Amino acid sequence: MTSRRSFLVAAGAFTGSARAAANVEAKIAKKDFRGITRQDLGTPAMILDEALFEQNLRIMAASNKATGLNIRPHVKIHKCPEITRKQQALGAIGACCATMAEAELITNAGMKGVLYTCQPAGVNKISRAAALAKKSPTFMVVADDPITVDLLNEAAGAAGIRMNVFTDVFVALTRQGIQPGEPALKLAQKIDKSKNLRLAGLMGYSGDAAHTHGFEARRKKSMEDLAALKESVEMCRKSGLEVPIVTGGSTGTYNIDMPVLTELQAGSYVFMDTAYMAIGGKSNDHMYTDFAPALTVLTTVVSHTRKNQCSIDAGNKAMLRVTDQVKGRPEVKIQNQGAEYGMLHWTDTDKGFKLGELVEIYPTNLDTSVNVYDRLYIARGEQIVDMWPIMGRAGAVQR
């Protein structure tokens, strides 16, 4: 009898919490979070630990003050205007976006200084970039090709505006960027001479440096990668061009890139993921503890028919990966079991999981995990205190 009862309690049945769950949607719609805890949420769900998140924002803001680097944080990690607003309240000078949808979303939410860090190519993106620049004169784009510069100039002319354009310089990440030195200088001069464009500066995103393991190795890699950007900036300035902004950098290099950049595009620091946690920091070569892991995916144990293993309700659709980690149980092995299932394996028989138990998972890659959820539930201890929509993430009109 006792074991049956503890089974039901673990499964969340016949409890006050289960009754709250029944009308949780109606309460959320009214922004009434009283009495709502993790137990009431449908899983898998994304949970943001408010205290850790705010701590991460404060740590980055304090670092920026100390280093003199501005920050224009990347939106692609969270796709959430509430978060951009909080970053700006702590001194962020704008926001970086990886898609036009994000740029439109954040600009339409009233934010200034939005930089689309991917070159707009094709009719759809070029015309949307021009439309957004008309709406928000502080909107900025990047270009690594003279063809794009001509097309942007034409689109800006047709819209009757001057558009802010960065020269995107190759800094060891092969996906983007014009060759540094003479080619970068020529492109910057072309932007500067284009009637309807304004040279905003140079960008160089050194993505490989971001996740280089070990602080010294990361510092060395980032400085090596950015040397070419530095040289290009100097060439531009020597030629008489104004280069007001040099933008790039990441969560991994936030305290490294000061000699080259004027501003950082870091994004992941707000939440952190297991890939970042593994890069190591100044004080610990194996764990990057500068920022705290604030985001988890809340899952439920849905089957427990075997010893030392159980199934959770998060699999491919929840972007579960074997490199994710169970919060508080780093020794537990995670296995993906298909669309809706994941599996947990453990060896210590005294520390198992119960059917219906909630298990929180740190994702490996924030961008892809956040992209499959509609909501961030904000947790203050056990209580859910708010819900922020994750936006601009899918659908034809939202690319």
Ligand X SMILES: Cc1ncc(COP(=O)(O)O)c(C=O)c1O
Q: Which residues bind ligand X (CB under 6 A)?
A: 74, 77, 96, 98, 117, 205, 207, 210, 250-251, 265-268
Q: Given the complex with ligand X, which of 267 and 363 has the nearer CB atom?
A: 267
Least separation in angstroms between CB 269 and ligand X = 6
- Structure token digits, residue 265: 């595009």
Residues β-bridged to residue 383:
37, 380
Contact by Cβ (8 Å): 271, 309: no
Cα within 13 Å of Cα(19), Cβ side: 4
Contact by Cβ (8 Å): 359, 44: no
Q: Which of 373, 121, 72, 29 is nearest to 248 (CA)?
A: 72
Contact by Cβ (8 Å): 47, 379: yes
Least separation in angstroms between CB 18 and ligand X = 38
Q: Given the complex with ligand X, which of 88 and 117 has the nearer CB atom?
A: 117
Least separation in angstroms between CB 207 and ligand X = 6
Q: Given the complex with ligand X, which of 252 and 315 has the nearer CB atom?
A: 252
Beta strand 309-312 pairing with 375-380: unpaired
Contact by Cβ (8 Å): 212, 279: yes
Alpha carbon distance 112, 100 (integer Å): 15
- Structure token digits, residue 230: 């530095």
Q: Given the complex with ligand X, which of 39 and 265 has the nearer CB atom?
A: 265
Q: Given the complex with ligand X, which of 205 and 215 has the nearer CB atom?
A: 205
Q: Given the complex with ligand X, which of 196 and 212 has the nearer CB atom?
A: 212
SS (H, E, C) 150-206: HHHHHHHHHHCCCEEEEEEECCCCCCCCECCCHHHHHHHHHHHHCCCEEEEEEEECC
Least separation in angstroms between CB 238 and ligand X = 27
Least separation in angstroms between CB 251 and ligand X = 3
Least separation in angstroms between CB 4 and ligand X = 47
Least separation in angstroms between CB 338 and ligand X = 28
- Kindly report the backbone phi and psi dihedral angles of residue 69, in degrees, each rounded to the nearest multiple of 5, phi listed first: -80, 135
Q: Given the complex with ligand X, which of 74 and 393 has the nearer CB atom?
A: 74
